[in-house]
Amino acid sequence: MPASPPYIIENGKLFDSVCDTARDAAIAFDHAVVAIGAEAEQWAARQDHVVRIDAAGKTVMPGLIDAHCHISFDEPMSNDELFFHRREGLAAIVAAHNARKVLRAGVTTMFDADTIFRVSLDLRDAIEGGLVEGPRMACGGNALFTSVGGTAGMLVPDEGAIGYLKVTRTRDEIVTEIRRQAKYGVDWIKIHATGLIPRQKQAGEIQVWNYDELKLAADTAHELGLPIVGHCRNASSTRDCALAGFDMILHATYMDDAALKAVIDARVPIVPTLTFQAVLADHGATVGASAFLQDLFAREVSESSVMLRAAFDGGAPILCGSESGFSITPYGEWHWREMQVLVENLGLTPAQAIASATRESARVLGFGDRTGTLEPGKAADIILVDGDPLADVTVFGREDAVTHVFKDGRAVDLATPLPERRPLPSWRVSQYSTVIASRAAAMRNK
């Protein structure tokens, strides 16, 4: 790729995500941030050629970080589609296409906790090698399951691998699988600590790993220098993962007092990822979801937000994740929506929500020395947002709200449409993602 020219962005409101306020200041960068304020102007004056961008009326801020995105899934409506209608080579090509959508939405970094085949690991390496345009990535491999199952229920086999998961039946298999994933270069180990069973009697999911198994998994991962994350959608699993030394918890819904205490004591970061539930509650009727299901998901958001806010107040970091990759959360559409949940349901300020989607996510995912804030020496992962998200985070969802995206100082082309995508043989049957994307576009155009 040709070298990127030096830039200076002037006349905008700079939110550097170091502190929770914005200020009038220029920012100068090439591949990394060079200077801010008067020093930026002085540096630009010394350059033979510098591209000047007038950001009047815009907010200049770090690129967003999606801490829960499934880039290899390609928006299935069901696990049947995901498990039985995917081919590894084609999945990698499709994921590369979808990664460009995510980047164009202003997401310059993402965490993909689990992957079908090893697609996400290869995509990460292709992006880092300059072969594919996309966000910088941290990745897990196949999620570790027990044969009890997860959210895929009866589709989960009693042994072996399918889709994004690998069933581990014994302590030896847990250790062997974690070591195997380390060999293939995962950044994180993911444990599906809860799941669904037929005739289930409790809300949320049931715990399908016991504490000793979770502790073994955490210890094995840490011995290999890898962090570990748990999918937890009930109280006991959240408690046990925190006690076992997990480095991050996805969801942490339905917490009770014991789970809350364990999370706060461990200061374990939480990625609530309530965007999926919020979008279905808001737009489920568009894709034929029942009123009962919409109400159920709306209550999960509101009720879980109480304990999640208590965890935040107690010192547990809260990160932003979108669950993009399913039909209800198509790529490029809802990466900002979790910030709205954090503001409207948890009661965070817009600045705190944006920090969760930038600085805090970068720190927890291991990118804090490179991105997440705009400081001299850090990567020039920068977006320009039309309006003031510090007053209203929903500006991110407006038509063409993100006017410029830079990753490592290189401008992303937002003007040229992506190649038209046509049907793929034996791929998927769902059109929900198209319907939801159209609904999102209609909202932006209001």
**pLDDT per residue over 142-175, tens digit each?**
999 998 877 787 889 999 999 999 999 999 999 9
- Alpha-carbon distance of 348 to 359, in angstroms, equals 15
Structure tokens at 169: 């039946």
pLDDT on residue 2: 59
Task: Return the amino acid letter for 14.
Answer: L
SS3 category, 351 = helix
* CA-wise closest residue to 328 among 278, 401, 258: 278
User: In terms of C-beta distances under 8 Å and separation of at least 24 residues, what long-range contacts does 161-164 make, across chains too?
Assistant: 162/83, 163/79, 163/82, 163/83, 163/86, 163/116, 164/70, 164/72, 164/73, 164/82, 164/114, 164/115, 164/116
Q: Hey, where are the domains in the chain?
A: 64-335
Which tens digits make up the pLDDT trace of 352-392? 999 999 999 999 999 999 999 999 999 999 999 999 999 99
SS3 category, 109 = strand
pLDDT on residue 311: 98
- Asked whether residue 130 carries a pLDDT value surpassing 60, the answer given is yes
Span 222-246, average pLDDT: 98
- Alpha-carbon distance of 341 to 421, in angstroms, equals 31
Question: What value does the mean pLDDT of the chain take?
Answer: 94
Which tens digits make up the pLDDT trace of 8-41? 999 999 999 999 899 999 999 999 999 999 999 9
* CA-wise closest residue to 100 among 412, 435, 427: 412
The model's confidence at residue 207, banded by pLDDT at 50, 70 and 90, is: very high
The model's confidence at residue 296, banded by pLDDT at 50, 70 and 90, is: confident
Residues above pLDDT 90, as percent of the chain: 84
The model's confidence at residue 446, banded by pLDDT at 50, 70 and 90, is: low
* CA-wise closest residue to 120 among 143, 147, 145: 143
The model's confidence at residue 202, banded by pLDDT at 50, 70 and 90, is: confident
Task: Return the amino acid letter for 356.
Answer: S
- Alpha-carbon distance of 261 to 279, in angstroms, equals 30
Residues above pLDDT 70, as percent of the chain: 96
pLDDT on residue 86: 94
pLDDT on residue 435: 59
User: In terms of C-beta distances under 8 Å and separation of at least 24 residues, what long-range contacts does 395-401 make, across chains too?
Assistant: 396/106, 396/336, 396/339, 397/336, 397/337, 397/340, 397/440, 397/443, 397/444, 398/444, 399/441, 399/444, 399/445, 401/444
Residue 307 and residue 313 in contact, taking contact as beta carbons nearer than 8 Å: no
pLDDT on residue 443: 59
User: Which residues have C-beta within 8 Å of that of residue 46, sequence separation ≥ 6?
Assistant: none
Structural class in CATH, domain 64-335: alpha beta
- Asked whether residue 283 carries a pLDDT value surpassing 70, the answer given is yes
- Asked whether residue 226 carries a pLDDT value surpassing 90, the answer given is yes
pLDDT on residue 64: 98
pLDDT on residue 413: 97
Cα-based angle 165, 169, 175 (whole degrees, multiple of 5): 80
- Alpha-carbon distance of 169 to 418, in angstroms, equals 44
pLDDT on residue 383: 98
- Asked whether residue 292 carries a pLDDT value surpassing 90, the answer given is no
Structure tokens at 119: 């697609």
